[in-house]
Amino acid sequence: MSTVVPTPTSSPAADTHCSPETKRLVNLLRDQNRYFATVKIRGRHFTVTEGDTIVTDRMADLELGDVLELDCVTELGSKDYTVVGKPYVSPKYFTIRAVVMEHPVSSTVTVVKFKKRKDYKKTIHYNPRYTLLRIAKLDVNKL
């Protein structure tokens, strides 16, 4: 089993210093029992909790069982508290790991294109390919 750390499309906020107020709020968030995060994977946003399964477009460079460290998080929260990033939450506040479960192929999708009165009709058949990711760990780090 290998670990893959994807490079984000835009780098997360690189502030190395966090205020005492931010530390206090992140520790309050840590005291909650369940967390959620809004992660960005290949340009799409997914709101996830620990144990969720995500269906994304095919990631051909990943093998079954690979572990991804997700660090492009726009929102991290619980029932009572939420941390919103501008544009991303700093990766030192959390740890999110996803495991590649499967690379399924969907049933055939048919697309019909036509132009009226032009005797033009085109039919396209294709099978979309996906990657299933399971969120193995979602934790707020202690500051």
pLDDT of residue 6: 57
pLDDT of residue 1: 56
pLDDT of residue 5: 57
Token pair for residue 11?
């780098």
Cα–Cα distance for residue pair 104/44, rounded to 1 Å? 19
- Which residues in the chain show pLDDT less than 70? 1-17
Cα–Cα distance for residue pair 26/21, rounded to 1 Å? 9
pLDDT of residue 10: 47
Q: Tokens 């960005």 sit at which residue?
A: 40
pLDDT of residue 86: 87
pLDDT of residue 32: 87
- Which residues pair with residue 105 across a beta bridge? 129
Query: Strand 67-69 relative to strand 3-4: parallel, antiparallel, unpaired?
Result: parallel
- Residue-wise pLDDT for 62-82, tens only, equals 999 999 999 999 999 998 888
Contact 100, 64 (CB under 8 A): yes
Other beta carbons less than 10 A from residue 15's beta carbon? 10
